[in-house]
Amino acid sequence: METVNVSSLKNNPSEALRLAHHDVVVVMNRNAPDAVMIGIDSLGVLEARGVRPAFATALFRDGNLSLSRAAHLAGMRVSEFASHVSRLGIPVVRLDGAEAARDMDTLDEWLASS
């Protein structure tokens, strides 16, 4: 087990991540354990059945990964991943009304010029 304090984590997060790839890292805050960092690959967690798609879905749903990056993480083609998240009720495209109207205007202009 490795330990880092909060200030060293703030000043050099890459070092803490590097340590977490090899062992459990306990983050100390004022001489008390505050958090634990564990390298996902080191535990083999992503290789368990269904974990990659579930993890990718959650990251995409929360806006942390793009559709293509989430599909790659899930080990699926983009079209497969889009179908997967759609079945779960997660929108593939997130547009507000103004963005949708701009997209429709762009489409109308493109169709008119074709």
User: Angle, to 10 degrees, between the axis of helix 51-61 and the axis of helix 67-74?
Assistant: 170
The yes-or-no verdict on residue 20 having pLDDT over 80 is yes
DSSP code for 92: S
Q: pLDDT tens, 49-60?
A: 889 999 999 999
CB atoms near residue 70 (< 10 Å): 25
Whether 67 has a pLDDT exceeding 90, the answer reads yes
Q: Where are the domains of the chain?
A: 2-42, 46-114
Tell me the pTM. 0.67
The one-character DSSP state at 2 is E
Give residue 49's pLDDT.
Answer: 87
How far is residue 41's CA from residue 17's CA, in Å, rounded to a whole number? Answer: 12
Cα–Cα distance measured from residue 46 to residue 30, given in angstroms and rounded to the nearest whole number: 33
CATH fold of 2-42, please?
Answer: YefM-like fold (3.40.1620)
